[in-house]
Amino acid sequence: MAECEFTQVCSIFAQFGPEGLDNFFIRAYCTTGGQKCKRKALYLEGKGPDEVPATLLPNGMQWSTPG
């Protein structure tokens, strides 16, 4: 299956993409077309990159950085 068409605008892919092939989210969502990705669903609803929360993970959970 093809890579998700929104990887160029996705902040999660940008964060984990370069080394992401070993990352669960990249493998499970981004490189398999993103069919179940909550971020992709928002993009398909017409939301722009600035409207999709940077902390929204593909599974719908929120990611927070330590600190």
Structural domain includes residue 65: no
pLDDT tens column, 8-24: 899 888 887 656 555 78
Into how many domains does the chain fold? 1
Q: Are 33 and 3 in contact (CB under 8 A)?
A: yes
pLDDT tens column, 25-55: 888 888 888 889 999 999 999 999 999 998 9
Structural domain includes residue 67: no
- For 7, 24, 48, 59, the CA distances from 19, given in Å and listed in that order, are 14, 11, 25, 19
Predicted confidence band at 63 (pLDDT cuts at 50, 70, 90)? confident
Give the domain extent around 38: 1-56
Predicted confidence band at 65 (pLDDT cuts at 50, 70, 90)? low
Structural domain includes residue 11: yes
Structural domain includes residue 66: no
